[in-house]
C-alpha cells in the first residue's frame, strides 16, 4: 500500500508541479487511527517552490490523485498534511502477499549486493566468553542478518587481539599453574588470570595435548621453560573454547583475523610508513606521534612509544586499512562501550592515510554492560571463570533462544538487566516464550485443519479474504503490513531490538485474536479467510524470529 500511495502521489505532484523534479515523497503511519492509515507532508514540501499555501496545494494534490479502489477517504489536516483512509480490501492484500512471498516477505534489495563487513565479539583469547561478549554476539549476528535481509553482501568477522600485554599475562598465568603455584600464592603474577580454566590449560599443556582452533592446530611441548609453546598453546586452547561457546550460541563467522598476523605480514609497519609519508606524524620525547587533532581528535596520539613498541590503536588502523583494501563499502564494528575512545583515533588514522576512506568510516555500534540477576540478586561469578558470568553459564541456564532474545531485545546503548528467572519462565511475562507460543498456537490450528483433510495449505493463497472485517483482523493485518518497513528501519538504524519489539506486538495481536475467535468452524468461507490470516501471521513471526536467530517453535 505504501508503494501504491507513493506512486499515486508522484503522479499528482507531476500534474500540479510539472517543472519540479525529484520530489521526495514521505509517507508515515499516524499514531492515532483517527488520522487514517497513512499521512504525507508533500503539500508542505511543494509550498516553497510553488509559492502557495500548503492547504491549497493539498487540495490540488487530492484533486489530481488517480483513482484507487483502496482509498475510501482523504482529508487535509493541520498546516497541510494529507491523511489517507484505506478500505478493508487494502489491508487484506497483505495476506496474499505474505503467503506468496513466504520467507522472502520483508526482504528488500536496498543494499544492492554491496559488500559490508560486520565485526563483532572480537574477544581477547584470554578466557571464556563472558555475558558482555554474548551481548555483542547477539547484537552483531542480528545486525548481519538484518543487513542480509536488506540486500547487502555480508561478511561476519572475528578479530583476535592475540598480541600484547594481556597475552603475556595469560602466558605467565599458565606458566605459574604449570609449576604448581596457586592463585593465592604471593608469587602468582599480579595481573594474572585466576579462573579455574587456567589450571585446565596448564594440565592440558603438561599432558602435551593438541588443540584445533579454526585454521590452526597446536601441540603442547609440555616444557615449562618453553614460554613460546605455552603462549601459542594457551591462545589456541582458548580460541577453541571460544569456538565452542559461539557454536552453542549458534554464531558462525566467515573470517577470523589475528592481530599477530598484522605484524607478521608487515601490515603494521606498512601502515606506520604510510602515516609518516602522509606528513601527519612527528617525533617528540623519543616517541612517534600522530597528529589526530588534524581530524577532530581532542589531542594528538602516540603511535610508537619510547621503548619502540606500538600503542594499541596502531594495529587497529592497520586492520581497518586492510578491511578497506578488501573492498568493503561499509564496515560496522559491534563492540563494548569501553571502545568509545578508540573511534575518533582510528578514524583519524584512516583519514591520515589518504586512501579515499570516508570520514565517518567505519560505523560503530557500542553495547552497554549486562547485569545478570537470579532470585532478585545479582549473579557476579562463574565457578569456571572465577571473576565473571560466562556466556556458556547463561545458555546452560535458560537455553540459546532465550539468551539470544534477551541480549538483543534492548537498545545496544542501554544497560541491560538479564533476569534468569524471567528467561526461564513459561509464562506470558517472558517475551520470547510469548512470541514462540503465538507461532506454536498457529501451527497447532493449521495442523488440526490439515489432519482433518479439509484442505491443503496452498488453497489458502487463493482464499476469499472479504470475511476478514472485524477490528481484531484489521489490527492484525495492519501489523503484518508494517513488517517490511520495520525490517528496513531496523537495518537503517542498526537496531535489532526494533525487530524484537515488533514481534512482541504482533504476538499480542495474534493472542488477542486467537482468544476471541474460533478458526475451525463450519462456515467454509470464514474458516479459510481466518486460516489464511493466521498462516500469514505465522510466516511473519518465523521471518522475524529468524532475524534474531531464535527458533520458531511448532510445539510448546
3-class SS letters over 454-516: CCCHHHHHHCCCCCCCCHHHHHHHHHHHHHHHHHHHHHHCCCCHHHHHHHHHHHHHHHHHHHH
25-56 pLDDT, tens per residue? 999 988 888 889 899 999 999 999 999 999 99
Summarize the confidence of residues 292-303 as an average pLDDT: 93
Say if residues 268 and 262 touch (Cβ distance below 8 Å).
yes
User: 77 falls in which pLDDT band (50, 70, 90)?
Assistant: very high
Q: Is the pLDDT of residue 217 over 70?
A: yes
Say if residues 141 and 120 touch (Cβ distance below 8 Å).
yes
Summarize the confidence of residues 425-454 as an average pLDDT: 93
Residue 242: C-alpha distances to residues 137, 238, 367 (Å): 12, 6, 20
Cα torsion through 533, 535, 537, 541, rounded to 10:
180
Cα torsion through 217, 218, 219, 222, rounded to 10:
-170
User: What's residue 453's pLDDT?
Assistant: 67
User: What's residue 383's pLDDT?
Assistant: 66
User: What's residue 346's pLDDT?
Assistant: 95
375-396 pLDDT, tens per residue? 999 998 776 777 789 999 999 9
The rounded mean pLDDT for the chain is: 94
User: What's residue 42's pLDDT?
Assistant: 96
Q: Is the pLDDT of residue 465 over 80?
A: yes
| Domains assigned to the chain | 2-86 (3.30.1360.70), 92-99+428-548 (1.10.730.10), 165-250 (no CATH)
CA angle 17–18–24, rounded 5-degree value:
65
- Cross-strand bridge partners of residue 177: none
325-377 pLDDT, tens per residue? 999 999 999 999 988 888 999 999 999 999 999 999 999 999 999 999 999 99
Say if residues 2 and 86 touch (Cβ distance below 8 Å).
no
**Pick from 545, 556, 543, 555: nearest CA to 107:** 543
Summarize the confidence of residues 430-453 as an average pLDDT: 94
23-32 pLDDT, tens per residue? 889 999 888 8
User: 215 falls in which pLDDT band (50, 70, 90)?
Assistant: confident
Q: Is the pLDDT of residue 401 over 90?
A: yes
User: What's residue 137's pLDDT?
Assistant: 98
219-255 pLDDT, tens per residue? 999 999 999 999 999 999 999 999 999 999 999 999 9
Amino acid at each position: 500500500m505504501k508503494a501504491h500511495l507513493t506512486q499515486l502521489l508522484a503522479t499528482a505532484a507531476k500534474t500540479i508541479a510539472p517543472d519540479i523534479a525529484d520530489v521526495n515523497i514521505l509517507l508515515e503511519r499516524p499514531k492515532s487511527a483517527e488520522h487514517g492509515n497513512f499521512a504525507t507532508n508533500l503539500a508542505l514540501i511543494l509550498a516553497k517552490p510553488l509559492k502557495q499555501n500548503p492547504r491549497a496545494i493539498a487540495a490540488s494534490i487530492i484533486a489530481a490523485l488517480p483513482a484507487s479502489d483502496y482509498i475510501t477517504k482523504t482529508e487535509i489536516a493541520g498546516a497541510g498534511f494529507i491523511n489517507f483512509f484505506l478500505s478493508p480490501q487494502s489491508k487484506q492484500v497483505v495476506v496474499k502477499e505474505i503467503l506468496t512471498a513466504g520467507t522472502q516477505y520483508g526482504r528488500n534489495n536496498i543494499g544492492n549486493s554491496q559488500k559490508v563487513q560486520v565485526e563483532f565479539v572480537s574477544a581477547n583469547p584470554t578466557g571464556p566468553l563472558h555475558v558482555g561478549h554474548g551481548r555483542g554476539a547477539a547484537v552483531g549476528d542480528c545486525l548481519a542478518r538484518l543487513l542480509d535481509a536488506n540486500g547487502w553482501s555480508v561478511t561476519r568477522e572475528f578479530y583476535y587481539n592475540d598480541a600484547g600485554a594481556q597475552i603475556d599475562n595469560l602466558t605467565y598465568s599458565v606458566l605459574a599453574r604449570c609449576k604448581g603455584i596457586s592463585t593465592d600464592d604471593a608469587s602468582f603474577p599480579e595481573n594474572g588470570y585466576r579462573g579455574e580454566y587456567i589450571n585446565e590449560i596448564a594440565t592440558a599443556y603438561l599432558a602435551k595435548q593438541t588443540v584445533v582452533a579454526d585454521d590452526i592446530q597446536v601441540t603442547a611441548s609440555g616444557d615449562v621453560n618453553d614460554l613460546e609453546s605455552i603462549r601459542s598453546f594457551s591462545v589456541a586452547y582458548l580460541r577453541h573454547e571460544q569456538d565452542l561457546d559461539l557454536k552453542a550460541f549458534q554464531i558462525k563467522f566467515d573470517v577470523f583475523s589475528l592481530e599477530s598476523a598484522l605484524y607478521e605480514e608487515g601490515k603494521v609497519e606498512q601502515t606506520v610508513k604510510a602515516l609518516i609519508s602522509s606528513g601527519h606524524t612527528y617525533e617528540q620525547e623519543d616517541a612517534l606521534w600522530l597528529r589526530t587533532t588534524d581530524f577532530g581528535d581532542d589531542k594528538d596520539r602516540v603511535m610508537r612509544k619510547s621503548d619502540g613498541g606500538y600503542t594499541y590503536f596502531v594495529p587497529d588502523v592497520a586492520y581497518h586499512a586492510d578491511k578497506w583494501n578488501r573492498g568493503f563499502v561499509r564496515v560496522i564494528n559491534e563492540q563494548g562501550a569501553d571502545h568509545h575512545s578508540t573511534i575518533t583515533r582510528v578514524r583519524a588514522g584512516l583519514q591520515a592515510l589518504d586512501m579515499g576512506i570516508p570520514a565517518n568510516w567505519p560505523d560503530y555500534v557500542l553495547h552497554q554492560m549486562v547485569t545478570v540477576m537470579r532470585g532478585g540478586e545479582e549473579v557476579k561469578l562463574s565457578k569456571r571463570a572465577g571473576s565473571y558470568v560466562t556466556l556458556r553459564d547463561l545458555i546452560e541456564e535458560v537455553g540459546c533462544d532465550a539468551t539470544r532474545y534477551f541480549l538483543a531485545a534492548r537498545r545496544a546503548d542501554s544497560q541491560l538487566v538479564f533476569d534468569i528467572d524471567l528467561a526461564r519462565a513459561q509464562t506470558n511475562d517472558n517475551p520470547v516464550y510469548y512470541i514462540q507460543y503465538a507461532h506454536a498456537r498457529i501451527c497447532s490450528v493449521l495442523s488440526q485443519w490439515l489432519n482433518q483433510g479439509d484442505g491443503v495449505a496452498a488453497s489458502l493463497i487463493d482464499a476469499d479474504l472479504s470475511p476478514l472485517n472485524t477490528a481484531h483482523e484489521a489490527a492484525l493485518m495492519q501489523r503484518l503490513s508494517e513488517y517490511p518497513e520495520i525490517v528496513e528501519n531496523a537495518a537503517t538504524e542498526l537496531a535489532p531490538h526494533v525487530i524484537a519489539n515488533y514481534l512482541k506486538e504482533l504476538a499480542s495481536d495474534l493472542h488477542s485474536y486467537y482468544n476471541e475467535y474460533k478458526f475451525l468452524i463450519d462456515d467454509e468461507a470464514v474458516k479459510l479467510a481466518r486460516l489464511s490470516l493466521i498462516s500469514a501471521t505465522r510466516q511473519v513471526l518465523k521471518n522475524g524470529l529468524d532475524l534474531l536467530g531464535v527458533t520458531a517453535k511448532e510445539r510448546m
